[in-house]
Structure 1
């Protein structure tokens, strides 16, 4: 009987895949805990992350781009933004170069609430990264960037292939 011998690489790939899966699940739990403590839904949290990521890149997000990222209709995005703005998590600002354009930013109160909640995680993350040299971090960065790109490609394919369910037929 032929028995496949796992190579070190095979075992590493399996362990890395399992760790990524566990990391995603644990990150979701942390995100849900934050959302629950602040009366936010899953989509609210996704929106806040999108606003934060856009600000970190120096290109604030527009409501239209937010809707595209979250796969929401314009009406749903408006309701979402209204809700997050009322709660003090985000603010709307007019673009200084094109007053017709609205940009979304983290509001000071929302940023303070997020900072308080996520500061311990940030400190843990910093401590973990301190254990790696610059060359190692370059490899980790290249890996995680490629994995993120792969996941987003798959997400986009799944979205594009999504088919509306057929209406249920009565069986009586």
Structure 2
């Protein structure tokens, strides 16, 4: 593929990611509104969910760093999220002195109820695509998440 075509394809993918992010933000806004969550509450819930699903649950300190909040602000947010039944604290099995944040059953239930229709829309949208396209898309998303994570790390280092 010529360089110009490759650059155009990469630009189209970058535009798709921005559009996906914008749609995701709006869906998150609706979810937060339905469950009396602030934007930061939703961001925290999403960060905890993603980390937990990746097998790397966050501590409150890691969440604080990820969200760029003060210690007092993250403590207040976490306490509120625990009181509302969205999050819980769990001892780290590898180091019982550490406490990891996890999504509570209530948090999983309300997320499942809200996002199940999105899963159905996603299945319908992807139904006509061959498995090889889905595998390629997964590789692309994995690469993009890695690139965004590397950029976030650079931003965290330069801000710290």
Q: TM-score, normalised by structure 1?
A: 0.78
How many equivalent pairs are there? 158
CA distance in 2, matches of 1:99, 1:10: 49
Shift >6 Å, 4+ stretches:
none
Point out the structure with the larger helix share: 2
Structure 2 counterpart of 1:93, from 87, 90, 94: 90
Equivalent of 2:133 in 133, 136, 140:
136
CA positional deviation for 1:126: 2.2
Residue 7 (structure 2) pairs with residue 32 (structure 1): no
User: Which of 56, 73, 76 is the equivalent residue of 1:76?
Assistant: 73
Q: Say whether residues 1:60 and 2:57 are aligned partners.
A: yes
Kindly report which structure 2 residues correspond to 1:120-131, keeping only aligned pairs within 5 A, or say none.
120-131=117-128
Deviations 1:98-135 (A, max 9, x none): 33211111111111111111111111122233332232
Cα distance in 1 between the residues matched to 2:75 and 2:138: 35
In structure 2, the gaps of 5 or more residues are none
Say whether 1:116 aligns with 2:120. Answer: no
Unaligned runs of 5+ in 1: 1-6, 164-172
Distance 1:60 1:10 in 2: 36
Give the superposition deviation at 1:8: 5.4
Higher relative contact order (CA 8 A, sep 6+): 2
Question: TM (normalized to structure 2)?
Answer: 0.84
SS in 2 for 1:100: strand
